[in-house]
């Protein structure tokens, strides 16, 4: 089957370049990526604005394709969602990240992205709970990052899942805030602990128009009123960092404090008190 797959691969590559064929090839490869050891998890620091100590790390999946090289999660995660592979990939990322976090000091959190499709699986709370038990990581150390996409398929189970996840003690972050189908209605009822302000508002905010700053300020006010933390994503420059500070954002994630890095690097960072 493997040899036939390879032959097909060459045929398609030389004769048809339609996007659909390309996706099919990639999907076939992705289906086997876990067992072939091609996936890994990188960790990017999330730093408290005050004091600059590390609050935690976000787990970000990486795919090293044997012939195509590194493929961005922005490309293969949507593919995994469409191909029904996000459940197994997402669960693998979760357990890998929790195993890694078990090596960090107990106050350092681990943030893991949860696809709306995973969130909408009725067994999600049990799945998360099982991996927490197996790795011995306290639930309070785990932050699940969820995008506004979960509210698209909103049903009775959405509220129930939020309640169950809060009940086991994990933290919930609203990811990419401001980019999706933002409705203030669900901010009111969903028990988020943190709002992650999307990079599109953050990057270059200090040098662009002051509209981005106004939006960030409004989000901070909203979050504070609702008792939620804020995190600015994509902070690359000192000017942006200074603005983010002035606007009262409580946490920062961005290249200025560190790119996503391999577990060894993250582990030594996790054990330092201050980021240089």
Name the site residues for ligand C2E (rule: CB under 6 A): 44, 60-61, 72-74, 77, 90, 93, 113, 115, 175-176, 233-236, 253-255, 260
Please report how close the Cβ of residue 155 comes to Ca ion at its closest, in angstroms: 24
Q: CA 42, 205, 209: angle at the middle one, nearest 5?
A: 155
Residue 61 binds which entry of ligand C2E, Ca ion, none, CB below 5-8 Å type-dependent? ligand C2E
Q: What tokens does 264 get?
A: 């060894």
DSSP state of 271: T
Residue 29 binds which entry of Ca ion, ligand C2E, none, CB below 5-8 Å type-dependent? none
Please report how close the Cβ of residue 14 comes to ligand C2E at its closest, in angstroms: 30
Residue 254 binds which entry of Ca ion, ligand C2E, none, CB below 5-8 Å type-dependent? ligand C2E
Q: Which 3 state secondary structure label does DSSP give 249?
A: coil
Residue 234 binds which entry of ligand C2E, Ca ion, none, CB below 5-8 Å type-dependent? ligand C2E
Q: Tell me which residue of 94, 137, 140, 142 sits closest to 118, measured CA to CA.
A: 94
Please report how close the Cβ of residue 38 comes to Ca ion at its closest, in angstroms: 21
Of 148 and 176, nearer to Ca ion (C-beta) is: 176
Of 47 and 60, nearer to ligand C2E (C-beta) is: 60
Of 44 and 49, nearer to ligand C2E (C-beta) is: 44
Q: Which residue is nearest to ligand C2E (CB)?
A: 254
Chain residues binding Ca ion by CB under 5 A are 113, 145, 175-176, 233
Residue 158 binds which entry of ligand C2E, Ca ion, none, CB below 5-8 Å type-dependent? none
Residue 165 binds which entry of ligand C2E, Ca ion, none, CB below 5-8 Å type-dependent? none
Q: What tokens does 139 get?
A: 């639930």
Q: Which residue has the tokens 């600015």?
A: 232
CA–CA gap between residue 56 and residue 58 (Å, rounded):
7
**Cβ within 8 Å of residue 5, ≥6 positions away:** 28
Of 176 and 229, nearer to Ca ion (C-beta) is: 176
Please report how close the Cβ of residue 115 comes to Ca ion at its closest, in angstroms: 11
Please report how close the Cβ of residue 181 comes to ligand C2E at its closest, in angstroms: 16
**Phi, psi of 49, rounded to the nearest 5 degrees:** -60, -40
Handedness of CA 265, 270, 271, 276 (dihedral sign): positive
Of 21 and 256, nearer to ligand C2E (C-beta) is: 256
Of 73 and 178, nearer to ligand C2E (C-beta) is: 73
Q: Judge whether 145 and 115 are in contact, CB under 8 Å.
A: no
Q: Judge whether 121 and 149 are in contact, CB under 8 Å.
A: no
Q: Which 3 state secondary structure label does DSSP give 170?
A: coil
Q: What tokens does 232 get?
A: 């600015």
Residues in the chain: 276
């Amino acid at each position: 089957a493997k040899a036939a797959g390879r032959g097909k691969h060459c045929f398609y590559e030389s004769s048809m370049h339609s996007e659909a064929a390309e996706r099919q090839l990639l999907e076939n490869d992705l289906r086997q990526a876990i067992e072939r050891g091609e996936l890994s998890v990188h960790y990017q620091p999330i730093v408290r604005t005050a004091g600059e100590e590390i609050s935690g790390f976000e787990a970000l999946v990486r795919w090293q394709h044997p012939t195509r090289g590194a493929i961005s999660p922005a490309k293969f995660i949507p593919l995994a969602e469409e191909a029904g592979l996000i459940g197994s990939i997402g669960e693998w990322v979760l357990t890998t990240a929790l195993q890694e976090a078990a090596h960090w000091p107990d106050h350092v959190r681990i943030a893991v992205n949860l696809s709306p499709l995973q969130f909408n699986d009725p067994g999600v709370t049990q799945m998360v709970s099982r991996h927490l038990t197996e790795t011995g990581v306290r639930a309070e150390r785990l932050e699940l990052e969820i995008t506004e996409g979960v509210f698209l398929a909103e049903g009775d189970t959405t509220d129930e899942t939020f309640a169950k996840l809060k009940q086991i003690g994990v933290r919930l972050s609203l990811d990419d805030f401001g980019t999706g189908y933002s409705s203030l209605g669900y901010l009111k009822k969903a028990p988020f602990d943190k709002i992650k302000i999307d990079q599109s508002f953050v990057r270059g905010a200090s040098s662009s128009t002051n509209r981005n700053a106004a939006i960030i300020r409004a989000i901070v006010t909203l979050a504070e009123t609702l008792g939620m933390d804020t995190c600015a994503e994509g902070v690359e420059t000192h000017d942006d960092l200074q603005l983010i500070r002035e606007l009262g954002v409580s946490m920062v994630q961005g290249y200025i404090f560190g790119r996503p890095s391999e577990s060894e690097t993250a582990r030594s960072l996790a054990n330092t008190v201050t980021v240089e």
